[in-house]
Structures are given as C-alpha cells and as structure tokens.
Amino acid sequence: MRLQLTFSRIALVGERARRDDGQALVEYALILGLVCVVAIVLLTAMGASVTSLLAEVTAALNSALS
C-alpha cells in the first residue's frame, strides 16, 4: 500500500511538471509576440529614416569602392 502511494505521488509530480512546461511555453510565445509587435511598430514609425540612412551608407560605400 505504501509503495503504491509513493508511485501515485511521483505520478502527480510528473503531471504537474508537464503542465508547467506547457504554461512556460505559452508565456514565451506571448513575450515573443509582444517583441515582434513592438519591433514592427518601431520599424514602421522609423522606416523612412532607416531607409535614408541605409541609402547614405550604400552611397558612401559605392564612392569608397569606386
């Protein structure tokens, strides 16, 4: 009886660990989604200035290589 109770407790601990892993996965997915949304918003807001900066860098590299 005592051995069976011990195995039952081990099974419950394993089940809880599996549920926690799923919860952690969902939390990481939500964080990743939030980071993506913030990156898209920032790139959209600053897109024109980034594009012009890259154009200046490209022109400078082309003139240095020519």
Mean pLDDT of all residues belonging to the chain: 81
Global pTM?
0.48
Which token pair is 8? 């039952």
Least confident of 13-27, 29-43, 45-59: 13-27
Handedness of CA 21, 40, 42, 49 (dihedral sign): positive
Handedness of CA 8, 9, 11, 15 (dihedral sign): positive
Has residue 61 got a pLDDT over 90? yes
Domain ranges for the chain, please list them: 2-65
The predicted pLDDT at position 1 comes to 58
Q: Which residues contact 50 (CB under 8 A, 6 or more apart)?
A: 43
